Amino acid sequence: MRGTGEVRLEAATGLSRGRRAMQEDAVLCDVPQGGAAGIVVLADGLGGHAGGALASRLAVTTALRELAGHRDAEGALSGHIPGLLRVAAEAANHAVLAQADLAPEVEGMGTTLLVAVVQGGDLYWVSVGDSPLFLLRAGRLRQLNETHSLATHLDLLVEVGEMTPEAAAAHPGRACLTSALGAEPIERIDCPDAPLRLRPGDVILAASDGLLTLAPGEIGAIAGARGERSADLASRLLEAVARAGQAEQDNVSLAVLRAELAAPRAAPRAGSGLRGALGRLLDNLRADHAPDPAPSRAGLPGSGLPGSGLRGSGAAGGLPSAARSALEVQE
């Protein structure tokens, strides 16, 4: 990643409809390599059927497009990343509200939103709703973001002794959200200013709450399997949810990002880069076209450079296609 060379990301996404009639989750993942920022956007739609599906898709596409507009030439996000994430969340909210105004049949639709960005080995996020963002580090799974639902309040009542754990777990309003896109203003936004520094071996897991059919210990055991790629981990998590066999299993969407030790960049060898590549190409062309027994000083017909077959029309514009490719690789 940019600025460190310590970690690189290996990523995969997964979706399951569960036992629902329609898929109302959406997830997008854009994790290039090099200096570019890795971005994951996930949403769990509300409002039932078409409304929830539309809201989640609007949210993820709008948020990703908003962030992509701030990529620099290397693909990194330029600017204050927490500020960019908040703007992306507000833009997604406005898109959902605007569509609901245009289509009465989806009035009241909404969605959760979870956006995670990794840049320079740092993890940033913004979340609205109850879609969890987990970090698995050294065998320990912990949730990083806030949960905007009544579950948080019920669990606090358990901690202070005003409710039993059994009553809190069975409460009919436990899953009711206290913040979501589709309302103005957004009630609560979780977007820390300070990023989390990643380490090689960390696993980041973004998911909709449908994954919470599995206990935290089971999620951690699967996500922490050694020697498996992100795509394998995503598939195993979805398979475990299916095996649980819940009659009302919700949609599940997830993204798995593994932080790996980045290979050190090779030091440029002598004569590398554009100048070195051009020099080597000129030497090769001189050798190929030099008359025998003595090389000509006049150059080749039509050339703009002495002793070469290259036209003098710029660094690459006048090169044959093979030569142009070689230069682009070296730059």
pTM above 0.85, yes or no: no
Instruction: State pLDDT tens for residues 272-305.
Output: 444 444 444 445 444 444 444 443 333 333 333 3
User: What proportion of the chain, given as a percentage, has pLDDT over 90?
Assistant: 71
Report the C-alpha gap between 269 and 272 in whole angstroms: 6
Residues 6+ apart with CB under 8 A from 2: 34, 35, 36, 37, 74, 76, 119, 120
Instruction: State pLDDT tens for residues 137-159.
Output: 999 999 999 999 999 999 999 99
Instruction: State pLDDT tens for residues 213-258.
Output: 999 999 999 999 988 999 999 999 999 999 999 999 999 999 999 9
Kindly report the length of the chain: 331
H/E stretch holding 65 reads helix 50-68
Task: Report the pLDDT value the prediction gives residue 60, as an integer from 0 to 100.
Answer: 98
Task: List strand residue ranges (DSSP E) for 100-173, in order.
Answer: 110-111, 113-119, 122-128, 133-137, 140-143
Q: Look up residue 1 and give its DSSP letter.
A: -
Report the C-alpha gap between 108 and 121 in whole angstroms: 39
Q: Two tokens at 118?
A: 């990794």
Report the C-alpha gap between 169 and 154 in whole angstroms: 8
Task: Report the pLDDT value the prediction gives residue 261, as an integer from 0 to 100.
Answer: 83
Decide: 303 and 297 in contact? Cβ < 8 Å. Answer: no
For residue 315, pLDDT beyond 50: no
Decide: 63 and 115 in contact? Cβ < 8 Å. Answer: yes
Class of domain 7-261 as given by CATH: alpha beta
Could you state, in order of their start, the residue ranges of all structural domains in the chain? 7-261, 273-330
